Amino acid sequence: MTSTDALELLIKAPTPERAAKLTKAQITAVLARHRRRNRDQKTAAIAAALRESQLVAAPVAATYAAAATAHARLLIALNEQIDTLEAEVKRTRST
């Protein structure tokens, strides 16, 4: 998963309950930070999806939320390392 805006939203709201509480302003801010176009349309679509009813197993939701947050942070770090490695490969190929 290389979509850092999706990962940021997952970190902000790793459970269906918390995701449903994200405001449109919060979603728009994340999209803006990641320079997404058509933010109003995307915000509306994301907000609608997050507010749909979800099947939730309350006793395990916190555990899954912690795991999802940890995985999202790991993916962000890995994506940054991949970008660094790609830049280094390009640099060494051009010399």
* Residue with token string 């449903």: 20
Per-residue model confidence as pLDDT tens digits over 22-71: 999 999 999 999 999 999 999 999 999 999 988 777 778 888 899 999 99
- The pLDDT confidence band at residue 80, using thresholds 50, 70 and 90, is very high
Would you state the pLDDT for residue 90?
A: 93
Cβ pair 5, 33 in contact under 8 A: yes
How far is the C-alpha of 95 from the C-alpha of 86, rounded, in Å?
Answer: 15
Would you state the pLDDT for residue 1?
A: 62
Where are the domains positioned within the chain? 4-93
- Helix axis angle for 24-33 and 4-12, nearest 10°, is 140
Burial class from Cβ neighbours inside 10 Å (0-12, 13-18, 19+) for residue 4 reads middle
Cβ pair 31, 5 in contact under 8 A: yes
